[in-house]
Amino acid sequence: MVEPIPPVDSRHKARILMCPPDFFGIEYEINPWMNRRVGSDSTRAAEQWRGLHRLLTDLGAEIELLEPVRGLPDLVFTANAGLVYGDLFLSSRFRHAVRQRETPYFDAWFAAHGFTVVTLPEGLYFEGAGDALFCGETLFAGYRHRSDSRSHQKVGELLGVHVLPMELVDPRFYHLDTCFCPLDPETALYHPGAFDEYGRKVITSHVPRLIEAPPEEAASFCCNAVVVGRDVVLNVGAPKVEQALRRAGFTPHATPLGEFLKSGGSAKCLTIRVDGEDAASWRTHPPQLGRTFAAARGATR
């Protein structure tokens, strides 16, 4: 039984970066959901994206937009851009070459908006908020299909935070954010079947309150949700999870995102919190680590 906790400070306005799906489509296959023969409906995808944008705006979020780029269909999945930590943007190193071309556009946006952009050494794969999510002070990290465990160790060193790497064993849940969603610093929604026994123990021993997504609802990517205070925005098709969220003191908002699920994405994949996730304890006092990195760079020039 998940006990509800008091609401968070609602005066903070969430800042979210999204990218319109002008050039979204299934042009290659890099996860089990993608099938070029099936493709996607561009009109319906645009409608679904606008519905998500409108819903987040109605919930009080400030939405900023990245300019879409022809030939980069997955630029729409901004969660994979990197990891935000205070004034620092830790840029992704994508495993697949087709997505590596997105990095300059993400890096340029964050640099232009006051972030210090830091990149991991070559040879390390790291796919940002797709595989690294804060719950409280701890950074939970998924590896195997996209990111690797060595990259998470380096992330922990760079940020000076406690990192818990967990292996993702089901290829359908290839990123951590497809099967694990921190809701607040002590609560998370997750799908146990996406992890091995060790990963499940890591989650159950470090997160005080947990909501389990059953297999049939996890397949709708209900864990790939956007959290804004006590509001949780998720794809349609998860009535049991919605009920559990209400019992835990959250308000679910289901919106159709089926066209993006065809590409292995949903609500969370389509967004990145520029101000830090609600479940990150540091969000109320964002660290200025970016200034430290910038000063060190200047000293070595």
**Annotated active-site positions, please?**
175, 269
Query: Does the structure show a pLDDT above 90 at 227?
Result: yes
**Is 7 inside a domain boundary?**
no
Report whether 228 contacts 209 (CB < 8 A).
no
Identify whether 2 is part of a domain: no
Residues 160-211: pLDDT tens digits?
999 999 999 999 999 999 999 999 999 999 999 999 999 999 999 999 999 9
Count how many domains the chain has. 1
pLDDT at position 2 is 44
Residues 204 and 298: their CA atoms lie apart, in Å, by: 43
Instruction: Give the integer Cα–Cα distance in Å for 272 and 83.
Output: 9
User: What CATH number is associated with residue 163?
Assistant: 3.75.10.10
| End-to-end CA gap in the chain | 56
10 located within any domain:
no
Model confidence at 299, pLDDT cuts 50, 70, 90, reads low
What is the structure's pLDDT at 291?
85
Question: Is 281 inside any structural domain?
Answer: yes
Is it the case that residue 296 has pLDDT exceeding 90?
no
| Start-end of H helices in 4-162 | 42-58, 97-100, 103-112, 149-159
Q: Mean pLDDT across the chain, nearest whole number?
A: 94
Query: 299 or 134, which is more confident?
Result: 134
In a domain, 27, yes or no: yes
Domain carrying residue 179: 15-299
Model confidence at 10: pLDDT above 60: no
What is the structure's pLDDT at 300?
54
Q: Is residue 277 part of a domain?
A: yes
On whether residue 193 sits in a domain, the answer given is: yes
What is the structure's pLDDT at 294?
Answer: 84
Residue 51 lies in a domain: yes
**Global confidence as pTM:** 0.94
Tokens 């709708």 label which residue?
A: 220
State the average pLDDT over residues 29-45: 95
pLDDT band at residue 32 under the 50/70/90 scheme: very high
